[in-house]
Amino acid sequence: MSRSRPYIRPVEKLWWARPPYLAYTLREATGVAVLGYALVLLAGVVSLANGERAYNVWLDFLKSPWSLSLHVLFLIGMIAHTWTWFRILPKTMPRLVIGRRVLPQIRVTAAGVAVAAASFIFIVLVAVWTQP
């Protein structure tokens, strides 16, 4: 009988860039939009702490084409984040049982997206109603 000499195949270093894992990597990349937007807010808070002139520099930056393009990317990233977030959320919960049936995970996703949509509308309305 021959002696066993198992062969260990090396892991492909670029697995995260190829299907089916590319979708996962793109999902994780939405975190960059979340962080990026937080950095813009942080810059705003820091400039606010430094007085009116500094703050107006930040406001002028927001009006620039660079910032507007950046925020379009942030918006796409945030929406992608919201969608993929509620797709993965039911995996982090035990199977919910309603009455006698196990709730399909897609219903949790649908409920989450619905709440997010309602929240979006609510915040926009509040902003429009409280504007000067």
- The CB-of-130 to other proteins minimum distance in angstroms stands at 9
Q: Report the residue from 16, 66, 107, 114 that binds other proteins according to the rule CB under 8 A.
A: 16
Q: Three-class SS of residue 123?
A: helix
User: Does residue 92 touch other proteins according to CB under 8 A?
Assistant: yes
Residue 117 near residue 63 (C-beta atoms within 8 A): no
Verify binding: residue 65, other proteins, rule CB under 8 A.
no
Query: Could you tell me the smallest distance in angstroms from the CB atom of residue 78 to other proteins?
Result: 4
Binding status of residue 21 toward other proteins by CB under 8 A = yes
Residue 66 binding other proteins, by CB under 8 A: no
**DSSP code of residue 119:** H
**Helices of type H across 9-104:** 21-49, 52-63, 65-88
Cis previous bond, 6, omega within 30: no
Residues 23-42 that bind other proteins (CB under 8 A): 24-25, 28-32, 34-42
Q: Which of 57, 75, 110, 114 binds other proteins (CB under 8 A)?
A: 75
* CA–CA separation, 122 and 132 (whole Å): 18
CB 110, min distance to other proteins, A: 14
Residue keyed to tokens 């897609």: 106
